[in-house]
Amino acid sequence: MRYLSSVWRYVPASVVAGGLLAAVAAAGQTAGAGATTPRRTAWGHPDLQGIYNFNTNTPLERPREMGTRRLLTAEEMVAREEGARRFLTDVPPRDGDPGTYNRFWNDQPKVDRRTSMIVDPPDGALPPLTPAAQKFQTALKEARQDVDDDSPTPGGWVTEIGPHGLSVRCIVGFNAGPPMTGRSYNANVQVLQTPEYVMLLNEMIHNVRIIPLDGRPHLPSAIRQWTGDSRGRWEGQTLVVETTNFAGTVSDFTNDRPAGPNMRLIERFTRTDSNTLLYQFTVEDPSWYTRSWTAEIDMIRTEQPLYEYACHEGNQSVPNILAGARAIENAGAKTPTRKTAVK
């Protein structure tokens, strides 16, 4: 269990003991795909435990031309499967590039018939942004104009989180959640249960959430965390996790952006068969979106283990970026323009 060594010492003893008990209890239960009787833990909760892969090539937003159609045709499925195969194929580097972002470590994305992850609004698109959010996006675009993202200059990025954002500093990252929208690699999560807690351990950036189920209130509003403050409850066969108290900046799919003080995330986990969890999440942030929106994805059980994820350790990105910038300067080339950072 090497992959748990970096986080296990932070997990309460009750979670460890309960998790081991749950593993023993689950070992004596069997259920085939599509079983009508859900598996349960020794204390009677729906048993969601296991390691799940949620990598997918289903887009977050639905292509406009598909309107409100939620499922692909047979022909469109063939095209998506071909796209999944191409995703794993290395391509030649562009002129002047030393190489490409190798594909060998990417997971095979799961292909399903959904036209988009977003199921509400009905058009499968993100709701319009608020005026404040539009102003921020416009300022960000202007700040990034003519700025080289690989440059050591801080222009073009959100000032609250430094020059290169949350993921570069390995604070959060895609697939780390919450919410979880799988792509590329490390799109795995382990679910571990006890009577009092549920633990969600993401392989990406070894992010772990220990979620109490006892109805306690959220942390005071002044206490903010990168992945928020989560509380869980059961609604029938579904685990519902409500997360608030996000830090001042959140990773919002493709960009970091300010988190509104009232941002709320509601996640739902439902076992649909012995190997699948239906994962649904609703984002509510009136400071950023003009309405709430909901997405869903299937998480598929895997027998593969989680692996330790290292990010800053041994990372040569900063020395290489600086060396490249000095080489450009020595060659007399024009260096990237430093822009005023977004406020």
Residue 68 predicted with pLDDT over 50: yes
Q: Rounded to an integer, what is the distance from CA 65 to the centroid of its chain?
A: 27
Write down the pLDDT at residue 90.
83
Position with higher pLDDT, 13 vs 176? 176
Cis peptide bond upstream of 179, omega within 30: yes
| Tens digit of each residue's pLDDT (9 = 90 or more) over 157-195 | 444 444 456 766 677 778 888 999 888 888 999 999 999
Closest to 59 measured CA to CA, from 74, 44, 76: 76
Residue 14 predicted with pLDDT over 80: no
Residue 15 predicted with pLDDT over 70: no
In the chain, the amino acid numbered 260 is G
Write down the pLDDT at residue 176.
84
Residue with tokens 């249960």: 193
Position with higher pLDDT, 17 vs 200? 200
Write down the pLDDT at residue 154.
53
Interatomic CA distance for residues 58 and 166, integer angstroms: 24
Write down the pLDDT at residue 324.
80
Q: Rounded to an integer, what is the distance from CA 106 to the centroid of its chain?
A: 15
Structure tokens at 201: 């351990």
How many residues are recorded in the chain? 343
Position with higher pLDDT, 167 vs 272? 272
Percent of the chain scoring above 90 in pLDDT = 47
Q: Rounded to an integer, what is the distance from CA 240 to the centroid of its chain?
A: 17
In the chain, the amino acid numbered 237 is Q
Mean pLDDT lowest for which of 7-16, 294-303, 321-330?
Answer: 7-16
As a whole number, mean pLDDT of residues 137-162 equals: 60
286 class by beta-carbon count within 10 Å (0-12 exposed, 13-18 middle, 19+ buried): middle
As a whole number, mean pLDDT of residues 192-206 equals: 94
For 256, phi then psi, to 5°, come to -80, 145
Position with higher pLDDT, 261 vs 298? 298
For 206, phi then psi, to 5°, come to 35, 45
Interatomic CA distance for residues 34 and 276, integer angstroms: 9
Write down the pLDDT at residue 326.
84
| Tens digit of each residue's pLDDT (9 = 90 or more) over 24-40 | 344 334 334 444 577 99
For residue 3, what pLDDT band results from cuts at 50, 70 and 90?
Answer: very low
Residue 256 predicted with pLDDT over 60: yes
Do residues 209 and 216 lie in contact, with contact meaning Cβ atoms separated by under 8 Å? no
Residue with tokens 């206490």: 223
- Cβ neighbours for 230, distance < 8 A, ≥ 6 positions apart: 178, 209, 211, 241, 242, 243
In DSSP terms, which residues pair with 281 in a beta bridge? 267, 295
Task: Kindly report the average pLDDT of the chain as a whole number.
Answer: 81
Percent of the chain scoring above 70 in pLDDT = 76
**From start to end of the chain, where are the E strands?**
50-53, 118-120, 188-193, 197-202, 208-212, 229-235, 238-244, 249-252, 255-258, 264-273, 276-284, 293-302
Q: Residues 299, 235, 183, CA angle at the centre, nearest 5°? A: 20
